[in-house]
Amino acid sequence: MKPIQLYTPENWKHYELIDCGGFEKLERFGEYITIRPEPQAIWDKQLSNEDWIKRAHVKFIGTSSNSGRWEKLKKMPDNWPLEYRYKQMKIQFNLALTGFKHVGVFPEQAANWDYIYDNIRKIKGEQARFLNLFAYTGGASLAAKAAGADVVHVDAIKQVVSWANRNMESSHLKDIRWVVEDAMKFVKREIKRGKSYHGIILDPPAFGHGPNGESWKLEKNINEMMKDVLQLLDKKQFFLILNTYSLGFSSLIIENLLKDELEKNKLRPTRFEIGELYLKSSHQNILPLGVLGRIDSFS
């Protein structure tokens, strides 16, 4: 069994997890501080509730299991920018207060953006080809494009693809290929076309629907998806990230999904890592935010 790795971003200047606990998290995105639900923060807060309210600009109030509203505690805009830098990469996100508690970026994913940027730069002899599945607002797509890759960005929701396009423009990048489609259907069609990619990331939700009502459930569909996705990897120069955020989903499941298919697809990674993504609060709480597996052909 491979040792479990722990991954956290090291290069955020404009984001901070201030505190977490009581099923909530207190975060700073640029100039503004939010209070949002967090089902994994089952311990006590380090700061008092009064201190949270005193600091925060806005708090998300859930009205159902999947939606809610924002209550502004101080003056702030509904939309604002957030910058991320790593080495020569400088990307910008356009954040917004959505009805689903999200603001347009998952900060823990910066650990993967750095990995993507570095591995794209290792591709030799041709332009790197990169595929982002379940791509949301495009942090991984921006990182790959900033490193010089030919990028395909796939998400089933037209509105978030448009959001990702705005992020690309704000980052002064261009020519990402946008695809609004069910990820499973897209992957199967790429296999038939004989396409291959040097790098792939997929961050599937626990459940969801495609643009034509296609059903996705992580436990039911992820095995078939991985069998197909690994067929798309270049056999010589490659890397892949499988990231999942689902309560109770073990990193050992990720290991089994990947290792069983590697030999079938004649993929021999020099690095195979499994582990957890997390954020550390300013008051030293560790907040787990997903399990992942990484494979690559680079030493």
Identify the pLDDT of residue 275. Answer: 93
Joined together, the tokens standing for residue 59 give 């708090």
Running DSSP on this structure, what letter comes out for residue 53?
H
Q: 281-293, pLDDT tens digit by residue?
A: 998 899 999 999 9
Q: Are strands 89-96 and 239-244 parallel, antiparallel or unpaired?
A: unpaired
| Band (83; pLDDT cuts 50, 70, 90) | very high
- One-letter identity of residue 202: L
Give the whole-angstrom CA distance, residue 258 versus residue 227: 9
Token pair 């901070």 is found at 16
Neighbours of 179 (CB within 10 A): 17
Half-sphere exposure of 233 (CA within 13 A, CB side): 29
| Band (238; pLDDT cuts 50, 70, 90) | very high
Q: Is residue 206's pLDDT more than 80?
A: no
Residue 209 is assigned to a structural domain of this protein: yes
- One-letter identity of residue 257: L
Question: pLDDT over 70 for what percent of the chain?
Answer: 96
Write out the E strands in 144-185. Answer: 150-155, 177-180
| Band (204; pLDDT cuts 50, 70, 90) | confident
Residue 93 is assigned to a structural domain of this protein: no
Show the domain range for 250: 106-278+288-296
User: Contact 79/73 with Cβ under 8 angstroms?
Assistant: no
Residue 132 is assigned to a structural domain of this protein: yes
Q: Is residue 105's pLDDT more than 60?
A: yes
Q: Is residue 64's pLDDT more than 90?
A: no
Residue 2 is assigned to a structural domain of this protein: no
Token pair 């069609």 is found at 189
User: Contact 99/36 with Cβ under 8 angstroms?
Assistant: no
Give the whole-angstrom CA distance, residue 273 versus residue 291: 11
Q: Is residue 23's pLDDT more than 90?
A: yes
Residue 220 is assigned to a structural domain of this protein: yes
Q: Is residue 257's pLDDT more than 90?
A: no
Q: Is residue 280's pLDDT more than 80?
A: yes
Residue 189 is assigned to a structural domain of this protein: yes
Query: For residue 9, which of 114, 128, 145, 127 has the smallest C-alpha distance?
Result: 114
Q: Is residue 222's pLDDT more than 60?
A: yes
Residue range 258-262: mean pLDDT, rounded: 86
Identify the pLDDT of residue 247. Answer: 63
Give the whole-angstrom CA distance, residue 108 versus residue 267: 28
Residue range 22-35: mean pLDDT, rounded: 97
Residue 1 is assigned to a structural domain of this protein: no
Query: For residue 266, which of 233, 221, 235 has the smallest C-alpha distance?
Result: 235
Residue with the bigger pLDDT between 162 and 251: it is 162
Running DSSP on this structure, what letter comes out for residue 3?
P
List, edge to edge, every strand of the sheet that includes 286-296: 4-7, 271-280, 286-296, 239-244, 199-202, 129-133, 150-155, 177-180
Half-sphere exposure of 142 (CA within 13 A, CB side): 31
Give the whole-angstrom CA distance, residue 25 versus residue 287: 9
Q: Is residue 117's pLDDT more than 80?
A: yes
Joined together, the tokens standing for residue 57 give 């600009």
Identify the pLDDT of residue 209. Answer: 65
Running DSSP on this structure, what letter comes out for residue 270?
S
- In the chain, the number of structural domains is 1
Q: Is residue 205's pLDDT more than 90?
A: no
Residue range 245-254: mean pLDDT, rounded: 79
Give the whole-angstrom CA distance, residue 287 versus residue 274: 17
pTM score of the predicted model: 0.94
Query: For residue 93, which of 182, 151, 49, 29 has the smallest C-alpha distance?
Result: 29
Residue range 248-266: mean pLDDT, rounded: 85
Give the whole-angstrom CA distance, residue 296 versus residue 241: 9
Residue range 180-198: mean pLDDT, rounded: 96
Token pair 């998300």 is found at 60
Q: Are strands 58-62 and 32-37 parallel, antiparallel or unpaired?
A: parallel
Residue 237 phi/psi, 5-degree rounding, is -120, 110
| Band (215; pLDDT cuts 50, 70, 90) | low
Residue 153 is assigned to a structural domain of this protein: yes
CATH number at residue 179: 3.40.50.150
| Band (218; pLDDT cuts 50, 70, 90) | confident
